[in-house]
Amino acid sequence: MKRRLFIKETTTVFTGVGLSAVSCNQSQINKSEKSFEVYVTMDGEKVSFHSEVIKEKIKIVHIVDTHLYMDDDRGLPFLNYSSRMAKAYNQTTHFKTRVKTNPNKAFEETLAFAKEVNADVITLIGDIFSFPSELAIEWVLSKLEDIDIPYIYVAGNHDWHYEGMKGKLDLLRDQWIEKRLMPLYQGNNPLMAAYDIKGIRFLAIDNSTYEISDEQLSFFSEQVASGLPIVLLIHIPMYAPGKKISFGCGNPFWGAATDRNFELERRPKWPEDGHTKTTFEFYRKVFDSPNLMGIFAGHIHRNSIEIIKGKPQIVSDDNASGGYLNIDFVPLEENYKSNKK
């Protein structure tokens, strides 16, 4: 019997091994938001969360920015839109060994590592693809089927983007998610979904346009109101003072004046007025949430950890160069809990 359970509802919750599922609706929301202590350590790609609210150990392998570029004849009509990114990551240097590698090999090696460590879930948090290649998406789906470990997917800014294709970014995202990426969501809402794993609620929210919608803000607020410990999964990191503009979600400096890559990426320039009020409200809500344990992101292609208003945001190195995060959620040691009393 396979370990993976797929739920055919939008904004659903699924759990990993020994799975049960519930859908998220207002009748299930517990309005008591409760804070708790979380202890976080990071050593290279190894990340550990310790807390009293963690009841069972959870092992996660976090993958972002693989930038798979393989394509076939079905991609010929789109060469004008895919050509730059198809050449961007053909050969990379492994983040540890410094030996030459490539995205396909790195992805397969990371999946093999997830199998070796008996991961409860694999989080695929954006830019797994350099553009929405049918061949690359089919290849990833087949590899995930073979590895037979539950996974969570949310898109990054390249997964759905054909450079130079006309249209508003949010509409292009909707179009190529529907046409190409939809199987990766396993029946869940592509823009916002909740997954319960051993008592921790993981929220996958698509911020691949750098912005947050009203629906996503409402969804996040409802999940916080559940009172459950929450982990946020997003592709683009949240703004952190002193960091580059690529920490772009909720960044007060994000906008037309700081958009250096719109011509290279052949996309609309960021708005003159910067973020919407909704995106800034999402930022405020995230860091005011007492039951948020932490945030995992990607996009910047290097390991990073920021403490923002007391909340840890951890960003992974790019998987195109072999990078990943090896994450453990661990119950707090009994002797430490005793010493606290």
DSSP one-letter string for 83-96: HHHHTTTSSEE-TT
Phi/psi region, residue 56 (left: phi>0; alpha: psi -120 to 50; beta: rest), is beta
Tell me: pLDDT of 163 over 80: yes
**What's the confidence (pLDDT) of residue 334?**
59
At residue 36 the predicted structure's pLDDT band, cuts being 50, 70 and 90, is confident
Tell me: pLDDT of 185 over 50: yes
Closest CA to 151 of 19, 293, 320: 19
Claim: this prediction has a pTM higher than 0.85: yes
At residue 66 the predicted structure's pLDDT band, cuts being 50, 70 and 90, is very high
**Pairwise pLDDT comparison (97 vs 14), residue with the higher score:** 97
- Give bridge partners of residue 300 from the DSSP assignment: none
CB atoms within 10 A of CB 20: 9
d(CA 224, CA 33): 7
User: Which alpha helices (DSSP H) does 5-162 contain, by range?
Assistant: 79-86, 103-116, 134-147
For residue range 193-204, list pLDDT tens digits in order: 999 999 999 999
d(CA 95, CA 40): 23
Q: Answer whether 291's CB lies under 8 Å from 228's CB.
A: yes
**What's the confidence (pLDDT) of residue 12?**
34
d(CA 165, CA 173): 11
d(CA 184, CA 49): 27
User: Which alpha helices (DSSP H) does 95-162 contain, by range?
Assistant: 103-116, 134-147
- Give bridge partners of residue 39 from the DSSP assignment: 50
Closest CA to 194 of 149, 224, 157, 169: 224
Mean pLDDT, rounded, for 7-28 = 35
Q: What angle, rounded to 10 degrees, do the helices at 277-288 and 214-225 form?
A: 20
Tell me: pLDDT of 31 over 80: no
CB atoms within 10 A of CB 258: 13
All domains in the chain, ordered by first residue: 12-21+38-332 (3.30.750.180)
d(CA 144, CA 63): 13
Max Cα distance, the chain (Å): 66
Residue at token pair 């320039």:
269
Percent of residues, the chain, with pLDDT higher than 90: 87
Q: Which H/E stretch holds residue 61?
A: strand 58-63
For residue range 220-251, list pLDDT tens digits in order: 999 999 999 999 999 999 999 999 999 999 99
Secondary-structure breakdown of the chain: helix, strand, coil percentages, each rounded to the nearest 5: 30, 25, 50
At 154, phi and psi to the nearest 5? -140, 145
- Give bridge partners of residue 328 from the DSSP assignment: 48, 59
